[in-house]
Amino acid sequence: MSKYTTLNKKVVTKKDIVKILTRMGLKRGMIVEVHASLSSFGYVIGGAQTVVDALMDVITVEGTILMPYQMGENSEPSLWVNPEVSPEIYKMVRENMPAYNYLGSESLGMGKINDNFRKRSNIVFSNHPQASYMAWGQYAKALCNRQSLHFSLAQESPTARLYELKGCVLLMGCDYDKCTCMHLAEYLTESRPIYISGSKIEHDGKETWKKYLDLDIDSVIFNEVGKVMESKHMVAMNYIGESKIRLFRADTAIDEATNYLDKHLPYSLYR
């Protein structure tokens, strides 16, 4: 790692990123779901482009990089909490929200690394209007070719395909509550209540507001699952600059989350 600092931040180069990721076990041909915070590293020379370049250099097109591409704003406005909107404009929001378009829609709060990855060549997008994914590499189409409108992160989702293909998860400056694939455990255990959501979609050349069913998912508990995984030595950890890096198997994480939810099931009375 570079010994230099700027503005009291560690300086990180592409070479640094490649070196540490390789040391942790990331390699050519792997399938990996990535969640990354650029600000966590310190100062990365080249910014988000450098991080994405490093990931692609290590994984190569023989493997696959998967990232969430979620449009939180294209959702039922009555469910918004941060910020809330007044009930009198619910109808206005539904009528005026642009339909999901993977080329034009903007993700909400996904970060600069996610946004840089979205703009790369040969990115494949799934088709969910709110909880879509994007992928690059050999298995990009296999991961993203089907995602059910109802129950978006369940068995017909990139998350389930990641589990089946025994991919990994790479957290770069993020905690376990950002690990999207763990949500599959909530569907497998039926541990969350069902609710009705909605999004603007394009159907037969027209934009329309479409209602669909999903679970009221909650990722906070995943930090507890992460602690269990670390206690069982299931997670490889290191630092790149100031960023804590974690690498682990997706199927292991989902299985551990499933076991944890089965033991701490808040809705067991209703099963």
Tell me how far CA of residue 143 lies from CA of 90, 91, 153, 165, in angstroms.
34, 34, 12, 9
Per-residue pLDDT tens listing for the chain (271 residues): 555 555 667 899 999 999 999 999 999 999 999 999 999 999 999 999 999 999 999 999 999 999 999 887 888 999 888 778 899 999 999 999 989 887 777 776 778 999 999 999 999 999 899 999 999 999 999 999 889 999 999 999 999 999 999 999 999 999 999 999 999 999 999 888 899 999 999 888 889 999 999 999 989 999 999 999 999 999 999 999 999 999 999 999 999 999 999 888 755 545 5
Alpha-carbon distance of 269 to 49, in angstroms, equals 49
Alpha-carbon distance of 33 to 232, in angstroms, equals 21
